[in-house]
Amino acid sequence: MAFYFNLTVLVMLLSITLPRFSTDEARHLNSTSVRELLISSYQESYQIVHEASLHSRQRQSSPSSSKHVFTFPRQTEPETLEISRAAEVFQTTLQVLKNRAKQRYKRDVMAPELLSWEDVELIAELSQCPPVTHPTICLQSHLNKYRSISGLCNNGENPLWGTSNTPLVRWLPAEYEDGGREPKGWNRGRLHNGFQLPPTEATTTDAHSCMPFFRSKAACLVNFGSEIQQALQRQQMNAITSFLDASGVYGSTPRLESFLRDLSGLDGKLAVNDKFRDPRGRAYLPFIATLPSACRQSPHGERVECFRAGDSRVNEALPLICLHTLWLREHNRIAEALKHINGHWSPETIYQETRRIIGALHQIITMRDYVPKIIGQEAFEHHIGPYQGYDPSTDPSVSNVFATAAFRFGHATISPILSRLNESLQKHEHFPHLRMDSSLFSPWRIVKEGGVEPTLRGAFGTAASAISANTLLTEELTERLLVFNVSQYMDLASLNLQRGRDHALPGYNDWRSFCGLQRIKTMDGFKKVVRDYRVAKKIARIYKHPNNIDVWLGGLVEYVLPGSRTGPLFACLIGKQMKALRDGDRFWWEAEGIFSQQQKAELLKGSLSRIICDNSDIREVPPDSFGFRIPLVSCDHMPSINLEAWRDEKSQDLEQCGTPRRIKNGDFILSNTYGKLVALYSCYHGFKLKGAAAIVCEGNQWSNQPPQCTGTPH
């Protein structure tokens, strides 16, 4: 993204009054000098961010000094990079302004003292943060039938709720050491409740250096109506949509969605790998665009590059690759069936209807089969409860504490060994078990070592590690973890603790209060919720005060609720987030008008085990893929969805007007608006619509000629 100084905005900036000082101070201040202070602060911040970006790119392109550890750059989408850079310029401007004001006025000056909302909006515009999204954008009719890829306009009054590349929301105020951007523990001499916070840094396996740490990408503020102090604080970006919308399959930006689709096939399918298939001819995920990729390679045979999916983490572990592969195959299987059932559907309609079915299956499998096992049935009923319909007042956006602490409980369930099993659920004769560190970023092991089947059998045929307060994370995660752009092994526990401070999460006790749980007043009281006195004593010795305990650690060591994998705090936070994701989603599968009653009944037959049956060579599966249970069940006895429930008879209007004409670089969907058949056209990413977006079937013919899609893809 190219940053430049907008002269038009500069003229506007010079026309407003900035200082918010006392009357005595105001007599000595010249408004022009304060304006100049702001402008020069912006210019300096731009230079700082620009130089830091150059330095980062140079470091990433230089060869690693380590002979034994690889670096794996995550595929960050261009839209995400642009917004994060703009947010860094915005934040750096505030910091430079604060430092210069302190030098000039000989005292600490907080940004809210200097700036009005008008000033903040102008700094955001100078920094090239995206403009405010007005609800009128949601009046476009095509956004009402299917969910947008970014989540935009799921809520008509609050278009950005749950969208990609927006800030993680805060359920409690941020706690930065300087009030704005410094993580807790940043200033080593500062006391918290009378004590220094314990450091989170861990020495690496050579003991000669500390681990590096990269701060999470900053987000541009999107709500100019909030409290100004909160708006000026550093917020972290959620690069993907918040919704349970299968964005891991389809992406969270129009650009990525376009890359993942097979737009030339005219059948509504997703793109597949054009080099490799499994022995039965089943598809693999497509490779990333930039080759050669950084993924590990087999010592023998052809290269197998990093796979591309809707989520950039797809290559991190073999089970993730397998799940993404299953969902790719399931989309294409359903799309092919729907095309056969409804021959009059356009490719866009096939794609969108299939995407809606896949999204519904994600929601059902997550909420029915997975979440109750994580937080326990009692906590599920208490925190989530039965569905009461779409609630437009519920913000479905993912919270900072959920993403940064509560949902990271799963790190404690990871086994150090990745099992690969044969058809008898025994150790595979040709593909032995792998230590976790040797399986990361290794898509070649799927392509060259038996496909998805050995790893899938290992996943459902081996019980997950039990959470133990005494041994939270396997040494594979604390001693031999591979992380992007870092040429040394890392410690995931230390990273999680520091990430919580980076995100300014309040402490463990504040979140217990938030959830209606009793605060821990003494370290002896902490022993009662941990129920492992040795662990509680060790944490007490490290933190010295209960209010200083980091939320990720405190939540993880709580005693596990019966029939669950978490303690009371994480059960509350996960439950609250899941309820928001469900109730605040206009396209939730149970919401009115999304599916017919017959379709809902068929969707409830869906399961992860059935998807495994339909998209792999595995013929025996657990009745519940999230429950370790033997004996297995034959795929012949697993319920399956009857897609005949989606049969859509050709309407009389369509018979009379005929199928709308297809257009190059775009397509249409059909909709009934005010009792009339309407063809709604849209262009693929990178093209612009020229002409009427909607044409109406009137008098046995279409009201207008179809529009055109002009331009060239980026």
Other CB atoms within 10 Å distance of the CB of residue 613:
21
DSSP codes joined into one string, 521-582: -SHHHHHHHH--HHHHHHHHHHHSSGGGS-HHHHHHHSPPPTTSSS-HHHHHHHHHHHHHHH
Alpha carbon dihedral 373, 317, 287, 83, in 10-degree steps, equals 70
The token duo for 232 is 């000026």
Instruction: Round to whole Å and give the CA distance between 480 and 443.
Output: 19
Q: Which residue has the tokens 């990408």?
A: 217
One-letter amino acid identity for 129? C
What six digits make up the tokens of 294? Answer: 């950084």
Question: Is the separation of the CB atoms in 162 and 154 below 8 Å?
Answer: yes
**DSSP states of 330-372:** HHHHHHHHHHHH-TTS-HHHHHHHHHHHHHHHHHHIIIIIIHH
Residue 708 CA to residue 662 CA, distance in Å, equals 10
Rounded distance between C-alpha atoms, residue 273 and residue 234, angstroms: 40
d(CA 702, CA 700): 7
Three-state secondary structure along 289-311?
CCCCCCCCCCCCCCCCCCECCCC
Token representation of residue 707:
């529009």
Q: Alpha-carbon distance 281 to 469, whole Å?
A: 46
Asked if residue 703 lies in contact with residue 693, where contact means CB atoms within 8 angstroms, the answer is no
Structure tokens at 429: 């004769």
Contacts of 263 (CB under 8 A, 6+ apart): 684
Angle at alpha carbon of residue 262, lines to 81 and 604, rounded to 5°? 90
Residue 200, beta-bridge partner list:
none
* CA–CA distance, 574 with 568 (Å, rounded to integer): 10
**Is 411 flagged in the annotation as binding?**
yes
Report the Cα–Cα distance between both ends of the chain, in Å, rounded.
14
Tell me, rounded to whole angstroms, the distance of Cα 28 from its chain centroid.
Answer: 49
Pairing of strands 676-683, 666-673: antiparallel
Q: From the annotation, which residues make up the binding site for heme b?
A: 411
Q: From the annotation, which residues make up the binding site?
A: 411
